[in-house]
Amino acid sequence: MGRDSFSAASFRRSPRRYDTPEMRNSKTRLEFSPLLRTTRQASKGEYSSGRGGGGNTPETPGMYNDTGVLSFDQVSDSMESFNPKESKLGQKDGNSGIPLNQDKQPNMLSELPLKEQEKAFQAQKNEIFGLQFKIYLLEQHLDKTSPENVQKTIKENVELKAELMHLRQEMQKKDKQTDTSELEGRIRTLQMDKEDLEFQGRQKDREVDELKDRIDELERERERGGNNNDSTNDDNNSNEEELEDLRYQLRRQEQEKDDEIEDLKQRIAQLEHEVEEQQDSGEQDDRISQLERELKKAEEVRDSVQSELEDKQNEAYQTKVDLESRISEIKEQETTIRNQQDRIQQLLDERRETETRAKQEVSRTIEDREFDFEQEKRNLEWQVKSKEDQVESLRQSRDEACDELSLVKKELLDTQNELSNVKLLLTRCNNDISGLKSEKEDLERQLADAKATTDHLRESSRVIPPSTPDPDQVDKLRGELDALRNQFSTKESNWSQEKTYLEDKISSLERMKDSYEKQLSSILQDDKSKEGLQQAIETEKNRHVEMKRGLEQEISRLQTQIGTLKGQLEGAQKETENHKKKVKELEVKVQEMDDDLVVSSSQLDEVERQKNNALAQVSGLQTSLKSQENTLNAMRDINQRESQTRRETQERLQTTEARERELISQCESLKSRVTQLEFERESLQERYDYSVNKKLETATSAAEEAQRKLAQIEAERDKLLAASATPKKPSTPGGGVADKEYRKLVHQINTLKRKEQLTRYDVDHYKEGTQRLKRKLGETTDLHRQHIQKMVAQMRYLKEFASRQTAYRFDLGFMKSFFLKQISMYQAFNRADLAILQDMGIYPDYRKKSRTKPKFKHVALAVLAAVRLKTRHDRYVEHRSKRVVLKKRS
């Protein structure tokens, strides 16, 4: 390997290191790993020339290829990058830059100061480390590129390929197997699903049929209950119609009253205007009378309106009373319904208690019967087994006896006749045994029938419904169970008697067998005593005849017992069938009762709904009545105020009319006095012609002056009366008291005018107060509207602010997670670098710190943060502009 084989173009740097020209030429480039701290400081351009840092800093170990190993070109390039000539401390003979122990080196180092010497030592350490690291990498590369390793890798690749092919084939086979197993499993699941669907379809059909039956029953019940609901619906509809009529009448009457009040107000305004106009004109007397008539008419109208209002109030009170009575009736109906519900609940609880008790008793009885039956079954099985064993033993003994008899026949040829009789007897005994076998089989069949009946009874007891409607039926079932127990006890006694009889029979047969054996033995012993044998045969014949008779009797008795047992079994079967029928009837009754309960519960629900609707209607009527009462009270207050004002005006008019009458009477008295004076003057003129003329002239002059004064007073009075809108009549001069009275009248008229002015002032004051209140109300409504608009704007702003806050928090969370992941990544990289260095025997110096520039990632993250902050600021400005627009609109 020569130096010419190295290519500088193949040098590749790690992307994780500082590979910019600025960083290459910078004075702070002191290390190749972020954890390898060095003591080298930047000098004035020293050790900074060249791409490799003047040989002062080793190359980075990040120059790996895809396999994680340095290529040969990269290693050569990294080796070439070290130039010992560029180092001030390098040797002149072209060595690797490691200072040798020559004589000139101490002189060179001794010539430098201590700081420069330290720097030179550090540079040499770095160079040595770089060379050692490159040698290590070259050795690894050579080991991997050796022919042995290459052959190993080829073999491994071939084996791996073969394994891959084998694995692929196995995977294909397994895929096929899994596909077939999945298909089979799917087919099975589909079949199961099909069966389940068919079963569900049948179940649904049954449910549909049951629902149809239930619908028919409900329709019948609805038709029955329709008649009852029609009456309640008619009552409710009639009550609603009456309430609607009353509401319409009240609204119409209120409208009519409002119209009448408006007409009266307009009429009063017209009258006031006319009075003001006629006060200026001279036509007062007729107008006052007309006004009085109109006032009387208005009072009559007011009285009629008040009477109508009172009538309507009485009607409303009556409707209220009717509604209260209706409400009380509804409450009574509710109490009755509740009582009925409580009663139904009590009945249901009682029924449940009875059902539970009956269930418990039935279960107990069934358990007892099952336990007894099992015990009896076990006893009978044991007895049958013992009898079978006995029969087998008898069969064996019979076979042995037959063998012995055949031997006796062979030995005793002389006694064939006697032995033939014995054979006959034995054949009869065999017949008896066969009869006993048939009887045993009959008994076994009876036992099987009894087992079947017990199983049937057990199934019927299981089929018994969990609910029994009445205690009478439970008592009946108990009686039937007691009867079945008695029958079972009788059957048990019969079976025990039959067992004892069979045992006695078997014992007698055994005794007969023993006697036959003894006789045979005696016959074998005494061959010569034929007479004794004949006598024994006769005795045996007689015994056999007797036994035959006894057996026939026993057979007849057993046949009769079998017949009775058959009859009993038939009766038990009939009783079980009757019991099944009763159980079905009870199930039907229980189902009917359940249906009735469901119907009653639905009826109760309907009644409760009707009650709730009625209560809602009543509450609505109550609210409407309250609103009508409030309107009537307001109208009543208005009418009372108007009547008070009218009474006050009438009282004022009456006082003015009384004063006017007094003035008119005084004027008439003055006129009568003037006429008397004129008559006296005429009489005096007639009596005293000339002497009295002067007195008459003086009197006439005084009368004229008095008349002038009276005319002036009357004119002033007319003016005052015209101002006070009270009619006046001309008066004639009278006595001397007229001036004082006239003055009093003038004073009273003035006081009345002042009072009228005060009342007008009060009216104006009240009008102004109402106008002020209206203005305040409008201002308050405007303020409320403004406040509401501001609140809406604030709510919108708060919503936007919340959305911004959520976005800001999401961004903060993202940034936090991003930075944490970045930090973890940096820590992983640092740990990896530290592990590599520790493997190489190099440990970092944590006491020293390096001055590094920010990385590209940090800059990129800062840019991203700035962009996000800019977008957030733009959103804030946009929302702020929207808020300003909303404020302007509000």
Query: How far is Cα 658 from Cα 643, in angstroms, rounded to an integer?
Result: 22
Question: 471 falls in which pLDDT band (50, 70, 90)?
Answer: low
pLDDT number for residue 526 = 56
CB atoms within 10 A of CB 572: 22
Task: Flag whether pLDDT at 80 surpasses 50.
Answer: no
Left, alpha or beta for 41 (phi > 0: left; psi -120 to 50: alpha)? beta
Residue 751: name the closest of 724, 712, 722, 718 by CA: 724
With a pLDDT cut of 90, the percent of the chain lying above it is 0
Query: How far is Cα 147 from Cα 108, in angstroms, rounded to an integer?
Result: 48
pLDDT number for residue 94 = 44
Task: Flag whether pLDDT at 405 surpasses 50.
Answer: yes
Same domain, 769 and 811: no
Largest CA distance in the chain: 230
Domain that holds residue 738: 647-778
> Is 40 or 706 the better-scoring residue by pLDDT?
706
Left, alpha or beta for 470 (phi > 0: left; psi -120 to 50: alpha)? beta
- Answer yes or no: are the C-beta atoms of 753 and 724 closer than 8 Å: yes
- Answer yes or no: are the C-beta atoms of 559 and 482 closer than 8 Å: no
- Answer yes or no: are the C-beta atoms of 422 and 537 closer than 8 Å: yes
Structure tokens at 777: 């109300």
Lowest-confidence segment of 62-71, 283-292, 579-588, 810-819 by average pLDDT: 62-71
Lowest-confidence segment of 133-147, 289-303, 357-371, 697-711 by average pLDDT: 697-711
Residue 572 parent element (H or E)? helix 530-687
pLDDT, tens digit, 9 for 90 and up, residues 744-759: 777 777 777 777 777 7
pLDDT number for residue 522 = 65
Structure tokens at 844: 């970092």
Query: How far is Cα 518 from Cα 507, in angstroms, rounded to an integer?
Result: 16
DSSP-assigned states of every residue in 679-746: HHHHHHHHHSSSTTHHHHHHHHHHHHHHHHHHHHHHHHHHHHHHHHT----------TTHHHHHHHHH
CB atoms within 10 A of CB 219: 10
Core vs surface per residue 772-803: b (16+ CB within 10 A) or e: eeeeeeeeeeeeeeeeeeeeebeeebeebeee
Residue 279: name the closest of 745, 649, 724 by CA: 724
| Domain end point (choices 111, 145, 179) | 145
Average pLDDT of the residues in 592-602: 72
Structure tokens at 790: 């501001």
Same domain, 429 and 575: yes
Q: How many domains does the chain have?
A: 4
Task: Flag whether pLDDT at 466 surpasses 50.
Answer: no
Number of H helices, E strands in the chain: 12, 0
Helix (H, G, I), strand (E, B) or coil at 492: helix
Same domain, 426 and 476: yes
Residue 565 inside a domain? The answer is yes
Structure tokens at 245: 């009529």
Query: How far is Cα 641 from Cα 302, in angstroms, rounded to an integer?
Result: 12
Average pLDDT of the residues in 641-659: 73
Same domain, 682 and 825: no
Residue 772 inside a domain? The answer is yes
Task: Quote helix, strand, coil % in the chain, to nearest 5.
Answer: 85, 0, 15
Query: How far is Cα 559 from Cα 425, in angstroms, rounded to an integer?
Result: 23
pLDDT, tens digit, 9 for 90 and up, residues 507-558: 676 677 677 667 666 655 655 555 665 676 677 667 767 777 776 777 777 6
DSSP-assigned states of every residue in 134-152: HHHHHHHHHHHTSHHHHHH
Task: Flag whether pLDDT at 832 surpasses 80.
Answer: yes
Average pLDDT of the residues in 56-73: 42
Query: How far is Cα 665 from Cα 669, in angstroms, rounded to an integer?
Result: 6
Query: How far is Cα 535 from Cα 150, in angstroms, rounded to an integer?
Result: 123
Residue 280 inside a domain? The answer is no
- Answer yes or no: are the C-beta atoms of 667 and 717 closer than 8 Å: no
Task: Flag whether pLDDT at 337 surpasses 50.
Answer: yes
For helices 72-80 and 114-144, angle between their N-to-C axes, nearest 10 degrees: 160
pLDDT, tens digit, 9 for 90 and up, residues 721-744: 665 544 444 444 444 445 677 777
- Answer yes or no: are the C-beta atoms of 793 and 886 closer than 8 Å: yes
Average pLDDT of the residues in 436-463: 66
pLDDT number for residue 748 = 73
pLDDT number for residue 851 = 60
Helix (H, G, I), strand (E, B) or coil at 87: coil
Rounded to the nearest 10°, the torsion over CA 645, 646, 650, 652 is: 20
Residues in the chain: 890
Same domain, 526 and 430: yes
Structure tokens at 725: 């809108």
Question: 692 falls in which pLDDT band (50, 70, 90)?
Answer: very low
Residue 376 inside a domain? The answer is no
pLDDT number for residue 57 = 40
- Answer yes or no: are the C-beta atoms of 330 and 614 closer than 8 Å: yes
pLDDT, tens digit, 9 for 90 and up, residues 414-447: 655 655 655 666 666 667 666 666 766 776 676 6
Same domain, 807 and 840: yes
Highest mean pLDDT among 138-142, 277-281, 354-358: 138-142
State which amino acid sits at residue 585: E
Structure tokens at 883: 């808020």
| Domain end point (choices 778, 797, 821) | 778
Residue 294: name the closest of 315, 275, 309 by CA: 275
Left, alpha or beta for 54 (phi > 0: left; psi -120 to 50: alpha)? left
Same domain, 697 and 818: no
pLDDT, tens digit, 9 for 90 and up, residues 275-298: 666 555 555 556 666 666 766 776
Same domain, 544 and 420: yes
Query: How far is Cα 711 from Cα 738, in angstroms, rounded to an integer?
Result: 13
pLDDT number for residue 420 = 60
Query: How far is Cα 708 from Cα 605, in angstroms, rounded to an integer?
Result: 100
Mean pLDDT score of the chain: 67
Task: Flag whether pLDDT at 66 surpasses 60.
Answer: no
Backbone angles phi, psi at 523, to 5 degrees: -65, -40
Same domain, 561 and 428: yes
pLDDT number for residue 701 = 61
> Is 34 or 286 the better-scoring residue by pLDDT?
286
| Domain end point (choices 547, 569, 587) | 587
CB atoms within 10 A of CB 568: 16
Query: How far is Cα 58 from Cα 128, in angstroms, rounded to an integer?
Result: 9
Same domain, 774 and 801: no
Same domain, 696 and 706: yes
Residue 629 inside a domain? The answer is no
Left, alpha or beta for 65 (phi > 0: left; psi -120 to 50: alpha)? beta
Task: Flag whether pLDDT at 618 surpasses 60.
Answer: yes
Structure tokens at 769: 């107060």
At a CB cut-off of 8 Å and minimum separation 6, what does 507 contact? none
Same domain, 793 and 713: no
Rounded to the nearest 10°, the torsion over CA 8, 12, 13, 14 is: -160
pLDDT number for residue 85 = 44
pLDDT number for residue 739 = 67
